[in-house]
């Protein structure tokens, strides 16, 4: 410690010195010492206390850094873009869960595996030359490759690569890549259209105009691709908050009507305000559950009675404007408790009931039935739940794509309800599927494991 710091400590009534003097006074009463030794002991005691305080502060800072690191790892793993790091030999040293899923291999089995194994044969030489060039020169580079998954399926990927020079180690390559198969299909279609137009249009002026339009479409396509991550995140959050916000709006209108009626029915007013509170809390829980679903290891499961969950789901659907249906509950006698996250399973049931009600409304079916049946699956420790409506059902093409993210047949829909529902059921150890040979209406099935 510097002389200046020592003088500052001696001149001011620092809490550490005050505590040290008090401690020393108690000790001096039992064993007298010389004045110089007394002063040195006080100073040493003060420094010791200050070091303990600083050590505690450093420990707190370390805990905050660890929390920040954990948050970063969660964002890294749940990002909608694949991230990985390669050694100079082209071996995978780090990879997030999204990239592992895109390659079709468990993450633990990808570490120290050569990335070139997943590059399609026709792009192998081009990838090798690109990697060698990237390792020699710092900076960013991009590349489009055909990637072959572990199951043999090939998709087109766009790779944004960055060479990172280590201080005392060899350089590494960080890669962010996205599946652009849809974009490639659009580009192929555009190229075919372009060739056809060039053959048909002879006028140079018309040809130049067409070229400009094609360039604008390419620019729009690139812009849409760059906004893909933001759109997915915003749509998922909007989907989770839409139902409780609709209910809050309805309850608020009821409360305003009572306040403006001149004869306030306090029971109705209290019920309306209570509904607002319940739905606001539900919105918070829904958002927390959505983020918790993306958060590694945050799923909280419990033993649940399906009868209560289904009844709550029916009530929630009716409270948010999806009433007017005939609820039917067909539970097998002696049905055991199931294991899962209550809010997530309830969310899936509400979404399936809501979809059924909307389908019946579009078809003009009044007072149609929504049936929820549950029974034990033979040969498995699982309960199968069926949600069936009396709507028009789904055509073959819609049934094939109904679980795709952002696929929707509704004018105001975002196409995430069934995709999220399937992910939630799978996170709870079950499966969600559509019965394709239902005679009438739509029938969705999902499974949940026994609680014991």
pLDDT tens column, 27-37: 555 555 567 77
Q: Which residue has the higher pLDDT, 198 or 113?
A: 113
Q: Which of 189-203, 250-264, 384-398 has the lowest mean pLDDT?
A: 189-203
pLDDT tens column, 175-191: 998 888 887 777 777 78
Non-local (6+) Cβ contacts of 103 within 8 A are: 110, 118, 147, 149, 150
Q: Which of 11-15, 119-123, 271-275, 350-354 has the lowest mean pLDDT?
A: 11-15
> What is the model's pLDDT at position 375?
92
**Tokens encoding 234:** 């915003």
**Tokens encoding 219:** 């620019």
> What is the model's pLDDT at position 404?
80
Secondary element (H or E) of residue 304: strand 302-304
Number of CB atoms found within 10 A of residue 437's CB = 6
Q: How far apart are CA 124 and CA 118, in angstroms?
A: 9
Q: How far apart are CA 219 and CA 225, in angstroms?
A: 10
Q: Which of 215-224, 342-351, 362-371, 406-415 has the lowest mean pLDDT?
A: 406-415
**Domain boundaries in the chain?**
3-76, 79-179, 184-226, 299-449
Task: Reply yes or no on whether the pLDDT at 256 is more than 50.
Answer: yes
Burial of 23 (0-12, 13-18, 19+ CB in 10 A): middle
Q: Which residue has the higher pLDDT, 32 or 152?
A: 152
Domain formed by 299-449, architecture: 2-Layer Sandwich (3.30)
pLDDT tens column, 353-367: 988 888 888 888 888
Q: Which of 170-179, 204-213, 305-314 has the lowest mean pLDDT?
A: 204-213
Q: How far apart are CA 198 and CA 421, in angstroms?
A: 47
> What is the model's pLDDT at position 65?
72
Q: Which of 12-16, 78-82, 179-183, 310-314 has the lowest mean pLDDT?
A: 12-16
Task: Reply yes or no on whether the pLDDT at 20 is more than 60.
Answer: no
> What is the model's pLDDT at position 206?
67
Q: How far apart are CA 197 and CA 88, in angstroms?
A: 46
Task: Reply yes or no on whether the pLDDT at 10 is more than 50.
Answer: no
For residue 200, what pLDDT band results from cuts at 50, 70 and 90?
Answer: low
Tell me the DSSP string of 113-162: -BGGGGB-GGGHHHHHHHHHHHHHS-EEEEEEEEEE-TTS-EEEEEEEEE
> What is the model's pLDDT at position 235?
62
Q: Which of 223-237, 283-297, 316-330 has the lowest mean pLDDT?
A: 223-237
> What is the model's pLDDT at position 91?
95
> What is the model's pLDDT at position 159?
93
Pair 359, 391: CB distance under 8 Å: yes
Residues of the chain with pLDDT > 70: what percent? 77
DSSP structure class, residue 336: P
Q: How far apart are CA 248 and CA 261, in angstroms?
A: 20
For residue 225, what pLDDT band results from cuts at 50, 70 and 90?
Answer: very low
> What is the model's pLDDT at position 349?
92
Q: Which residue has the higher pLDDT, 233 or 175?
A: 175
For residue 226, what pLDDT band results from cuts at 50, 70 and 90?
Answer: very low
pLDDT tens column, 422-447: 888 888 889 999 987 756 788 999 99
Task: Reply yes or no on whether the pLDDT at 98 is more than 80.
Answer: yes
For residue 229, what pLDDT band results from cuts at 50, 70 and 90?
Answer: very low
Q: How far apart are CA 339 and CA 146, in angstroms?
A: 41
Q: Which residue has the higher pLDDT, 10 or 374?
A: 374
Q: What is the mean pLDDT of residues 133-146?
A: 88
Partners of 48 in beta bridges: none
Pair 255, 267: CB distance under 8 Å: no
Secondary element (H or E) of residue 202: none
**Tokens encoding 310:** 């289904």
CATH of 79-179, one of 3.90.25.10, 3.30.450.20, 3.10.200.10, 3.40.190.10: 3.30.450.20
Task: Reply yes or no on whether the pLDDT at 204 is more than 70.
Answer: no
Say whether pTM exceeds 0.85: no
pLDDT tens column, 368-407: 889 999 999 888 889 999 999 988 888 888 888 888 876 6
Query: pLDDT averaged over the chain?
Result: 79
Q: Which residue has the higher pLDDT, 255 or 160?
A: 160
Q: Which residue has the tokens 């990985």?
A: 84
Task: Reply yes or no on whether the pLDDT at 330 is more than 50.
Answer: yes
């Amino acid at each position: 410690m510097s002389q200046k710091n020592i003088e500052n400590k001696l001149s001011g009534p620092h809490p550490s010195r005050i505590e040290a003097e008090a401690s020393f006074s108690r000790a001096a009463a039992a064993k007298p010492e010389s004045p110089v030794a007394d002063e040195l002991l006080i100073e040493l005691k003060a420094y010791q206390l200050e070091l303990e305080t600083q050590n505690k502060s450093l420990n707190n800072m370390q805990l905050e850094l660890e929390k920040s690191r954990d948050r970063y790892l969660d964002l890294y793993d749940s990002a909608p873009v694949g991230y990985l790091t390669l050694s100079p030999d082209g071996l995978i040293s780090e990879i997030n869960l999204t990239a592992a899923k895109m390659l079709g291999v468990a993450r633990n089995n990808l570490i120290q595996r050569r990335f070139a194994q997943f590059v399609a044969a026709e792009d192998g030489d081009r990838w090798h030359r690109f990697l060698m060039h990237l390792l020699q020169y710092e900076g960013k580079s991009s590349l489009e490759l055909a990637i072959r998954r572990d199951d043999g399926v090939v998709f087109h990927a766009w790779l944004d690569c960055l060479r990172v020079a280590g201080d005392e180690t060899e350089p590494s390559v960080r890669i962010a890549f996205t599946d652009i198969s849809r974009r490639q299909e659009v580009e192929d279609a555009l190229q075919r259209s372009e060739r056809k137009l060039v053959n048909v249009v002879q006028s140079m002026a018309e040809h130049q105009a067409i070229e400009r339009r094609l360039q604008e479409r390419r620019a729009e396509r690139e812009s849409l691709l760059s906004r893909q991550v933001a759109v997915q995140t915003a749509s998922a959050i909007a989907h989770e908050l839409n139902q409780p916000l609709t209910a809050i709006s309805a309850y608020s209108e009821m409360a305003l009507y009572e306040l403006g009626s001149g004869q306030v029915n306090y029971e109705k007013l209290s019920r309306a305000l209570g509904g607002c509170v319940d739905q606001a809390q539900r919105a918070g829980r829904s958002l927390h559950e959505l983020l918790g679903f993306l958060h590694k290891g945050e799923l909280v499961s419990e033993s649940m009675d399906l009868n209560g969950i289904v009844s709550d789901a029916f009530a929630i659907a009716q409270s948010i404007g999806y009433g007017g249906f005939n609820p039917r509950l067909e539970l097998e006698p002696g049905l055991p408790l199931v294991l899962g996250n209550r809010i997530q399973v309830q969310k899936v049931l509400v979404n399936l009931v809501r979809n059924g009600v909307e389908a019946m409304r579009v078809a003009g079916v009044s007072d149609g039935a929504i049936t929820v049946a549950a029974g034990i699956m033979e040969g498995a420790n699982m309960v199968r739940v069926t949600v069936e409506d009396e709507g028009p059902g789904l055509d073959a093409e819609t049934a094939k794509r109904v679980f795709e993210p952002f696929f929707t047949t509704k004018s105001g829909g975002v196409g995430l309800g069934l995709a999220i529902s399937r992910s939630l059921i799978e996170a709870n150890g079950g499966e969600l599927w559509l019965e394709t040979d239902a005679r009438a209406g739509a029938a969705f099935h999902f499974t949940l494991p026994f609680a014991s």
